[in-house]
Amino acid sequence: MKYFLDTANLQDIRYYCDVFPIAGVTSNPSIVKKEGKIDFFAHMKEIRSIIGIDRPLHIQVTAPDTEGMLGDADTLLTKIDPEVYVKVPVTMEGIKAIKQMKSRGIHVTGTAIYGKQQGFLAMEAGADYIAPYFNRMENMGLDSDDVIASLADMIDLYHYDTQILAASFKNAGQIDRAFLAGAHTATIEPAILKDVLTQPYITNAVDTFDSDWKSVFAEKTISEL
C-alpha cells in the first residue's frame, strides 16, 4: 500500500513529502494547467529534485496519436530523466504506444481507465502501472470497487508485474475502498490527505489530552520533567 501525490505544485510536494510517507508523484495536463504558464521541463525537473530518483515521477503524454506519444515519451526521458514513468491514456492509439514503449524498456503507466477490459489490455501490453479513475467511474454508475478487485484478481491469477495506481478521489472513504479492493497505490490530492488528519474530532481528542496533562504537569512536556 503506497501513497502518491497527485499534484504538480512545488510547495505542496515539498511540504507533504516531508509530512507523509509519500512514495511518488503523478501529474497530467489538467494538473499542470493549475500551475499556470510554467517552464514545463524545468518545473518537472524541480519535482524530480524534490522527490529524488528513487520515487517514481509520472508525467502524461499530450499527443493524440501513437507516433506523437512515442515522441512525447522520448522528449520526457531526454529533457527530464530516463526514469520518468510515461503516462499513456489507454485508447486505441495509446495501447499501441504502450506496447512499443515497453519493447524499448520505458516505464509506462496506462491511465484514464474506466473498465476491466481496458485495464486487462494495458496489463497484457506490459504497463507497469494502470490507473483506474475511482470517482469518475462512480459518477458513471460503475462499481469502482468491483473494477479494482477484478484488476487485482487478474494480476494475481496471471502473475502480471503491473500495479494498480488508483486515481480520481473526492474523499478519504473512496481511498479506503480502493485499497481494500486491491489497489497497490493511490494517488491523492494534497487537500484530501490533509483532511484525513485535521478532522474536528481528532483535534478535540488531542486538545483534551493536552488539557488533562497540563492540569497535572502545567506546561512541562515529558522531556522537560
Active-site residue list: 87
Residue 12 to residues 20, 35, 126, 154, Cα–Cα distance (Å): 11, 12, 32, 35
Alpha helices in the chain (DSSP H): 10-19, 29-33, 40-51, 66-79, 92-103, 116-125, 134-139, 144-158, 172-181, 190-197, 200-217
State the DSSP code for 26.
E
| Residue 128 neighbours by CB distance under 10 Å | 23
What is the Cα 3 distance to its own chain's centre?
7
- Here the cell at position 202 is 481528532
In the chain, the amino acid numbered 195 is D
